[in-house]
Amino acid sequence: MTNTEFQSRLLNWYDQNKRSMPWRDCGDPYKIWLSEIMLQQTRVDQATPYFERFVDHYPSVNALAEADQQDVLKVWEGLGYYSRARNLHAAAQLVVDDFDGRVPDSWDDITKLKGVGPYTASAVLSIAFQKKYAVVDGNVIRVLSRYHGIDEDVRSTKTKNGIQEHADELISEERPGDFNQALMELGATICTPSNPDCGSCPLQDGCVAYKTARTEELPYKSKKKKRPHHQIGVGIVRNQKDQVLIALRPDDAMLGGLWEFPGGKQESGETFPDTVKRELHEELDITVSIIKPFMKLDHAYSHFKITLHAYLCELEEGKPEPRTSQEIRWIAIDELTEYPFPKANRRLTEKLMNLNKGQQELEI
DNA sequence: AATCCGGGGGC
DNA sequence: GCCCCAGGATT
């Protein structure tokens, strides 16, 4: 199949089958940029409601640049990879300060923005500005490795560079943005990781994997390491004013800029109450007594898993001082909704708020 | 080149 | 359970 045939079949398929998305065909570089950041390692269906809410809060680069980081993280809460939100916020301020509030339309300028790497630069430049940069994301890797019958490990840089060269050669001159979106759309809806719908694929004729019945084997990926599983003890410290103690994670840490109940990893030989007491002493310089178990939950992060054991605590001695955290605060339980929390901690705040509403069992 | 960074959905 | 997802930053 010639490149021209590849393009026309793909683009015709796209014109008839593309899904509707709030940022698609809007022509607004800010919304296209925002969508590409939200879609990093995130499915369209998961990102869409966040996109709508984010645009409601921050309809323009200027609005985003003027916002407080805490508010931006609150709108982002639940979407994960929170450095994306912090980087996007900082990048919006750079766009206002250095680029007159306009999203840069050149490679050298747009890659100056935090959180904009080769994929996002290519996506924004092609979709918003019709420039000929081919994207390579997980979808493109899957589609082209099958189409060309590439069986090297797609996790390796060399293989990805080879796929980038294929994409660079295939991309349409006239409709580069649509070509990129079409290839990704095909990967997301037809050329799926398992059970691809080859009968509906416009590229079936030229596809090596289809012709050799290797669609289930390609793309080849080396195995990932198993994720370690940690046991975490967490303290929900209450005072006489029915307030709880929360801590702000530093910007450069995992979940940076989000709040949490203080705690940490269980060490060998420790009971969970021991862990909570030790961690709170180390992190906040306080001594607490354990009142009772509050909640146990499992949660999976990208590279490890945790079981979180939370205990209701009472302050025995000392005034809490932030040591490992950026800031600490005593807040009422009904204020917990106002702060950005990561998912595992959000499950704790939800139980606290439900019990508080029912006036149950929170009395010490 | 390898590792770190969330959360959700599909199978 | 594991895998994947419109990846980027850091080491």
Query: Does residue A224 lie within 7 Å of nucleic acid chain B, judged by its CB?
Result: no
Query: Does residue A118 lie within 7 Å of nucleic acid chain C, judged by its CB?
Result: yes
The fraction of chain A above a pLDDT of 70, given in percent, is 98
Residue intervals in chain A for CATH 3.90.79.10:
229-358
Q: Which residues of A are annotated as a binding site for 8-oxo-dGTP?
A: 249, 260-263, 345
Residue with tokens 């940076």: A256
Report the candidate in A37, A42, A80 with the shortest Cα–Cα distance to residue A55: A37
With bands split at pLDDT 50, 70 and 90, how would you rate the model's confidence at A277? very high
Domain A3-211 has CATH 3.40.50.450: no
pLDDT above 70: residue A364 = no
Helix axes A69-76, A44-57, angle to 10 degrees: 150
Q: What does the mean pLDDT of chain A come to?
A: 96
Query: Does residue A303 lie within 7 Å of nucleic acid chain B, judged by its CB?
Result: yes
Among A36, A77, A185, A279, which one carries the catalytic annotation? A36
Report the C-alpha gap between A344 and A349 in whole angstroms: 9
Query: Does residue A195 lie within 7 Å of nucleic acid chain C, judged by its CB?
Result: no
The model's pLDDT over A9-68, given as tens digits with 9 standing for 90+, comes to 999 999 999 999 999 999 999 999 999 999 999 999 999 999 999 999 999 999 999 999
Report the C-alpha gap between A235 and A72 in whole angstroms: 27
- Amino acid in the structure at residue A222: S
Q: How far is the CA of A301 from the C1' of B9 (A)?
A: 15
The model's pLDDT over A235-271, given as tens digits with 9 standing for 90+, comes to 999 999 999 999 999 999 999 999 999 999 999 999 9
Report the C-alpha gap between A81 and A42 in whole angstroms: 10
Residue intervals in chain A for CATH 1.10.340.30:
3-211
With bands split at pLDDT 50, 70 and 90, how would you rate the model's confidence at A357? confident
Q: Report DSSP state, residue A79.
A: S
The model's pLDDT over A160-203, given as tens digits with 9 standing for 90+, comes to 999 999 999 999 999 999 999 999 999 999 999 999 999 999 99
Q: What are phi and psi of A132, to 5 degrees?
A: -90, 75
Question: CATH classification of A229-358, choosing from 3.30.70.260, 3.40.50.920, 3.40.50.1970, 3.90.79.10?
Answer: 3.90.79.10
Minimum CA–C1' distance nucleotide for A46: B8
A152 catalytically annotated: no
Q: Which residues of A are annotated as a binding site for Mg(2+)?
A: 263, 283
